Amino acid sequence: MDNSKHSDEAEKLLAELSARKGEGEGEGEGEGEGEGEGEPKSTVSVFYLQPEEVNTLSHQAKRGDGEAGFRLFLYYKLSNYDEEKSSQWLKIAANNGHATAQYRLYVELQEQGETKEANEWLQKIKLAASNNDSSAIWFLVNCYKNQGNKKEALQWAYKLKASKQPLDADRLIEELTKEQK
């Protein structure tokens, strides 16, 4: 895989993550020790993990920690460029209930033409969304929006607005209602 494809993948994942966190209000993402605020960071350095961190996260993920599995997915996908291991950790994170991992796995399976397995993950996302998981609801809004199903996307956007963490529901509702007119 060439570097431009890695850059495209990185940009796509970073856009998903920052949109989910409310337009980039993450927890210091991209700020390294001793580095000034606002300085650009490479994707490799943002997601790099020390070997002992990989070991610790690996043990945590194998014991059911979805966030640990997702961090390993990001490390292997965007810093280490190991597709096989990134895929392995994405599946572990998704199976451990990590909403972003579930959505990302759904998208990757759709792109690979694995419709049956992708739809199984979509059902898991819908179940989480029906239990008021804000991240899952947000993913459904965007999933239906990207598929051109604005009516379904708008219904989920209103559910997102009513949730405890409405993320960017107002912007999504405004965008979807403009598109319907």
pLDDT in tens, the chain (181 residues): 444 555 566 566 665 665 554 433 333 334 344 445 566 677 777 888 999 999 999 999 999 999 999 999 999 999 889 999 999 999 999 999 998 999 999 999 999 999 999 999 999 999 989 988 898 999 999 999 989 999 999 999 999 999 878 778 889 899 898 866 5
Let me know the angle formed at the C-alpha of 132 by 127 and 137, rounded to the nearest 5 degrees: 75
Same domain, 114 and 78: no
8 burial level (CB within 10 Å; 0-12, 13-18, 19+): exposed
Residue 163 lies in a domain: yes
CA distance linking residue 34 with residue 16, whole number of Å = 27
Q: Are residues 90 and 149 in the same domain?
A: no
- Per the CB < 8 A criterion, the answer to whether 13 and 74 are in contact is yes
Q: Is residue 81 part of a domain?
A: yes
> How many degrees, rounded to 5, is the angle at CA 68 between CA 28 and CA 70?
80
Determine the structural domain holding residue 54 and report its residue range. 7-16+43-97
If asked whether residues 91 and 115 sit together in one domain, one would say no
> Are 60 and 86 part of one and the same domain?
yes
Quick check: is 30 in a domain?
no
DSSP secondary structure, 17-53, as one string: HHHHTSSS--SSTT--TTPPTT----HHHHH---HHH
- Domain CATH for 142: 1.25.40.10
Query: Number of folded domains in the chain?
Result: 2
Residue 28 resides in a domain: no
Does 89 share its domain with 119? Answer: no
- State how far the Cα of 69 lies from the Cα of 92, in Å rounded to an integer: 6
